[in-house]
Amino acid sequence: MLFSIFVFIVVLSVLIFVHELGHFVSAKLCNIYVDQFSIGMPPRLLGIKIGETDYCIGALPIGGYVKMAGQEDVPLDDKEREETYGHVPPERWFKFRPIWQRYIVIISGPFMNFVLAIFIYIILVSKGTLMPEMEIDSRIGKIEENSPAYNAPLFIYNESKKNRNDYPENPDDIGWKTGDRILFINGNAVRKFSDLFVNATLGGPSEVHKVIIERETPFGEKKKYISFIKPEIIEGSELPRYGVSPFYSALLKEVIKDMPAEKAGLKSGDIILSANGIVVDRTTFVELTEQAPINQNISLVIDRNGEKKHIQVVPVTVGRLRGISLVETLLSSENKKGLLVLDIDTEMQTKTGLRRKDIITKINGEYFTLENLHQFEREHPGETIELEVYRPPVLFGLLEKSSNLKLKVSLEPVQAIGVVLGEKLIKVNYPVSRWLPEAFKRSYEDLKQTVLVLKGLIIGAVSPKVLGGPIMIFDATSKAASMGIDWLLGLMALVSVNLAVVNLLPIPILDGSLVLMLTIESLRKRPISPKMQERFQQLGFVIIILLLLLVSWNDIRRILSDIIP
């Protein structure tokens, strides 16, 4: 926890420092008197005065500021102004500088956040990055049954035909398929899977989306289709979706000894491309295997070091705790390992009585590791087992006390070939000439996505429930730090772009409000009156408080949903 807090403070401090540095440097270049450069908000903890400027650190690490003569967040009266800046020549006051210089000073903060994102991405691009497939490809994995994608009509793509009416009544095919690559949505190029999510959410369910799909046939030929589809708010989600999951290759991490996969010649590192002529990813391969008829061959096409091979394998019947995700955890009272329920689907929860966060301490009276459990499942398909379960208290025991349960669970018989699937990571390297263009491209994509989300919030396509505050950022930085420096830097770049965009919103107290007032001043040919500025700042204070309350409630709601099973 202490490390997570340290990382959070460092990330926040760097973002604020770079933002305020933009204001500071541009103010100095425009010969504006800078009284104070602060990272963190008052009270002042420590600092040093060099020349006319006090460089300091505030006690509250939630912001920062550059204090300039003649730039007042809260308007001063004549006496206060004279006491504070009476010694400063008027030509060095912010408000007396030319409007174009004031624009530069204000915009420099958000601009530097965007520059920081580009700099971070240059670091990531230059060192090469191991990335999940969904971050660099737009292939789709499992299609949810009866979802928009499941029922979507597909027509062989013709560039001269743009609208649904240009195509015949009967489609050439129905439904997207696992392995399809999404190329364009409403004319926008799709580069990675998250682009699908953004387009579905922001495009919303009110309009038909035009989606260009590339599909590879069993003979290696690639065909393009156009699909006309409306996203829907599918049960269990708050946002419109097409009903597809990202594509994760069925990479064999481990081949279990004496199981059909080993006997058929499959090896660790093989990637299963198709099964019985159907393109599969990790999820769809597991489902196809589990539902295979007993004693029937499955014809696999695999990729082994870039070479395609055809392999026949006959699954065997094993038992499985389906719909439950388990991870090993140390038991506090014994020097043994238990099995923590990370996730469980609704059907299995109803059937077994297990819940998320339950800890399975014993199975049939014995302690089990995850490896022991998988071995036991293979040897006892269809059997009913007894679980001894410790159920932790909910909300520190206020909602529910801790308890110990005994539950009966059946090991559901399914078909399996005996492999452990892993995640395929792709090493992406770029030549030096591509570092800056690629870094700018990634920063621009973050910028575009942030603007689209804000647009969605304004038009009602995105629920305010998705907004988060400091707690959500803290949680995100903690998870990113645990995954490695590349993930943390990537998140930092994204947050920096978000900070740049949000700061340019015309909300009082933010930089965007000053840009708005400067624009009004340039149109009116005279400044806004101090009284109006004061009213504007008061309105901004109310808006900021309301936003803080909203994002804080969203953060609390997320915490409660995680605490309460």
Catalytic residues: 20
Spatial contact of 39 and 58, defined as CB atoms under 8 Å apart: yes
Looking from the CA of 142 toward its CB, the CA atoms found within 13 Å total 12
* List of long-range contacts for 290-295, beta carbons under 8 Å, 24+ apart: 290/320, 290/322, 290/414, 290/415, 290/416, 291/414, 291/415, 292/415, 293/415, 294/415
Cα 380 to Cα 372: distance, rounded to the nearest angstrom: 12
Cα 556 to Cα 471: distance, rounded to the nearest angstrom: 8
Place of tokens 């103010």: 27
Spatial contact of 28 and 34, defined as CB atoms under 8 Å apart: yes
Cα 94 to Cα 512: distance, rounded to the nearest angstrom: 16
Q: In angstroms, what CA-CA distances link 469 with 1, 224, 520?
A: 18, 42, 31
Stretch (H or E) spanning 412 = strand 412-416
Partners of 182 in beta bridges: 213
Spatial contact of 277 and 299, defined as CB atoms under 8 Å apart: yes
Peptide bond preceding 43 in cis form (omega within 30 of 0): yes
Beta strands 244-246; 140-143: pairing state: antiparallel
What one-letter code names the amino acid at 365?
G
Spatial contact of 215 and 223, defined as CB atoms under 8 Å apart: yes
Strand positions, DSSP E, 51-180: 53-68, 129-132, 140-143, 153-156, 173-174
What one-letter code names the amino acid at 200?
A
Closest CA to 338 of 360, 316, 313, 366: 360
Taking 3-state DSSP, the helix, strand and coil percentages for the chain, each rounded to the nearest 5, stand at 40, 30, 30
Buried b / exposed e along 209-236 (16+ C-beta atoms within 10 A): bbbbbbbeeeeeeeebbbbbbbbbeeee
Contacts of 34 (CB under 8 A, 6+ apart): 24, 27, 28, 52, 53, 66, 67, 68, 69
Contacts of 396 (CB under 8 A, 6+ apart): none
Q: Is 244 exposed, middle or buried (0-12, 13-18, 19+ CB in 10 A)?
A: buried
Place of tokens 């956040």: 113
Q: Assign 409 to helix, strand or coil.
A: strand
Q: Assign 461 to helix, strand or coil.
A: coil
Partners of 328 in beta bridges: 339
Backbone angles phi, psi at 558, to 5 degrees: -65, -40
